[in-house]
Amino acid sequence: MNKISKRNVPADNDWRRLGQENYLQGVKLVFKNYHPYRIGRDHDHCEFCGTKFFETDDNLQKGYTTVSGYHWICINCFMDFKDEYNWLVEDND
Ligand SMILES: [Zn+2]
């Protein structure tokens, strides 16, 4: 069971912490509809909580992704970690 998430900085031992600061600290993110990183992939997981992103017609999902499109972060985790990771959000023309 997930704990009810609050909008504050997660604890140091938050279960979602898996060393993401090594590759996600201070990076640029873009908010957009989920799109697989490469052909043949149909889903990805949130880098923090593991929530699945799918690309389907009736289940459009938005999330924050790195400029490369390789890493995806769900809105909930973005809100929880955005201050700590100093993400720079780019507008998606
Ligand atoms: Zn998440």
**How far does the centroid of ligand 1 lie from the alpha carbon of residue 61, in Å?**
12
**How far does the centroid of ligand 1 lie from the alpha carbon of residue 40, in Å?**
23
What gap in Å lies between CA 69 and CA 34, rounded to an integer?
9
**How far does the centroid of ligand 1 lie from the alpha carbon of residue 91, in Å?**
20
Rounded to two decimals, the pTM is 0.83
Rg of the chain over CA atoms, in angstroms? 13
Candidate from 4-8, 23-27, 88-92 with smallest mean pLDDT: 4-8
Query: How do residues 26-54 score in pLDDT, each as one tens digit?
Result: 999 999 999 888 888 889 999 999 999 98
**How far does the centroid of ligand 1 lie from the alpha carbon of residue 19, in Å?**
14
